[in-house]
Amino acid sequence: MNICILDGYTLNPSDLSWEGIKALGNCDIHDRTKPEEIAERAANAEIILTNKVVLDARQIEQLPKLKYIGVLATGYNVVDLEAARKRGITVTNIPAYSTMSVAQMVFAHLLNVTHHVAHYAEEVGKGAWENCSDFCFYDTPLIELAGKTMGIVGLGNTGMATAKIALAFGMKVIAKTSKSAVQLPEGITPATLDTVLAEADVISLNCPLTESTKGIINRQTIEKMKPSAILINTGRGPLVNENDLAEALDSGRIAAFCADVLSTEPPSPENPLLKARNCYLTPHIAWATLEARKRLMKIAADNIKEFIEGKPLTNKIV
């Protein structure tokens, strides 16, 4: 089998090994691929692996030998599934490989906001503590999570992991979910979106991006939140109307926004969230722990092996 990896750098910037995939065929690995380079680079490929390089109907049509597309991520919107289906091309993805890493990032952001860890580390470096008249130095409010309400929108793998961590911190957890109360672990209460927005001290977006969830955070829904609310998005950037949210942050309508995702990545310099008040952004790295990337690499190889051996495919989309 001829295997072409179109954009392998984010998965493996050189700290992992491709050997598990190389053992399955002739492997051509590219760090990055522009759209106009796909047809030439993958001309002989029977198997393509892609993370963010888009394979639309036109691209797929130009690859007559293609039999399998492996998406090196959970989201598979980079592939035209209907075009793949018409050609009989198998498409797989890799769900749940980064569940704990993303849930960990939710709390990395939350703890930074509630204890201002980065701020105080910087202040200590500037000499604020050594020049302080007291044994401690603090110039911001500090917030304890125990007793606060965590509202989770979307209770899939990552949402559930986030909920369990919140419970361990002593938080009350309510969730917008299709699951009923009897399906949920003790301590998690199902709620409507309006209830989550109105009652939660912290709101974590962990739902998929669909037509119904696109822009779920907007001027109208922000008006339902507490002024002290902390909003966290580790799901998908377009869940948030960025202009509405930036206005809310700058006016003090909500306390803070934390995100590891934006609507366009990398962002345009004009993105209003880049300069918004109390806005804390990380560059889409929640998934990228070494442990999560090792799992992703192994699952990608397992998916290909199942395909080559004609076994039922665990992560088949098409």
Residue pLDDT, tens place only, 156-184: 999 999 999 999 999 999 999 999 899 99
* Residue 257: pLDDT band with limits 50, 70, 90: very high
- Whose tokens are 């009652």? That residue is 199
Burial class (CB in 10 A: 0-12, 13-18, 19+), 174: buried
Catalytic: 236?
yes
Q: Could you say which DSSP state residue 146 is in?
A: T
Q: Look at residue 52 in the predicted model and tell me its pLDDT.
A: 97
Token couple for 31: 């760090």
- Report which secondary-structure segment, H or E, holds 71: strand 68-71
57 sits in which H/E element: helix 57-61
Catalytic residue selected from 109, 116, 236, 293: 236
Distance linking the first and last C-alpha atoms of the chain: 20
Annotated catalytic residue 284: yes
Q: How far is it between the farthest Cα atoms of the chain?
A: 74
Written as six digits, the tokens of 208 are 């998929």
- Split at pLDDT 50, 70, 90, the class of 10 is very high
The pLDDT, as a whole number, for residue 43 is 97
Write out pLDDT tens, residues 20-75. Answer: 999 999 999 999 999 999 999 999 999 999 999 999 999 999 999 999 999 999 99
Q: Does residue 30 carry a catalytic annotation?
A: no
pLDDT in tens, 106-139: 999 999 999 999 999 999 999 999 999 999 999 9
